[in-house]
Amino acid sequence: MKNNHKKNLSIVVPVFNEADSIIEFNDSLVKSISSLPYNFKIIYVNDGSTDNSLEIISKLASENISVLCLSRNFGKEIALTAGISHAKGDAIICLDADGQHPPKYIADMVAKWEQGSDIVIGVRSNNEFRSFISSLKSKIFYGLFNYLSNDKLVQGSTDFRLIDRAVADEFITLNEPDRMTRLLIDWLGFDRDYVYFEAEERKHGQATYSNRKLINLAFSAMISSSPKPLYLFANLGIIISSLSLLLGFTVLIEQVLIGDPLKWNFTGTAMLGILIIFLVGIVLMSQGIISMYISNINNQTKGRPIYVINRKKSIGFTSEEIY
The residue ranking higher by pLDDT, 179 or 205, is 179
**Any idea of the CA torsion for 138, 143, 145, 149, to the nearest 10 degrees?**
160
pLDDT at 274: 65
pLDDT at 187: 83
For residue 41, the cross-strand partners are 10
Q: Measure the CA–CA gap between 172 and 149, rounded to whole angstroms.
A: 22
In the sheet where 119-124 sits, what is the strand order? 65-69, 39-46, 8-15, 91-94, 157-164, 119-124, 192-197
Confidence check: pLDDT of 228 > 60: yes
94-109 average pLDDT score: 88
Backbone phi, then psi, for 181, in 5-degree steps?
Answer: -55, -50
| Full-model pTM | 0.69
Confidence check: pLDDT of 302 > 50: yes
Summarised one tens digit per residue, pLDDT across range 135-187 is: 666 666 666 666 655 556 677 778 899 999 999 999 988 887 777 888 888 88
Count of beta carbons in the 10 Å neighbourhood of residue 303: 8
The residue ranking higher by pLDDT, 54 or 154, is 54
The residue ranking higher by pLDDT, 304 or 218, is 304
Q: Nearest CA to 49 among 86, 84, 11, 18?
A: 18
| CATH match for 8-209+304-313 among 3.90.550.10, 3.40.640.10, 3.20.130.10, 3.40.50.300 | 3.90.550.10
pLDDT at 74: 87
Domain ranges of the chain: 8-209+304-313, 228-302
* pLDDT, the chain, mean: 78
Q: Measure the CA–CA gap between 145 and 222, rounded to whole angstroms.
A: 6
The residue ranking higher by pLDDT, 207 or 268, is 268
79 and 70 Cβ atoms separated by less than 8 Å:
yes
Q: How far is CA 42 from CA 33, 67, 107, 129, 153, in A?
A: 10, 8, 15, 27, 27
Summarised one tens digit per residue, pLDDT across range 15-30 is: 998 888 899 899 989 9
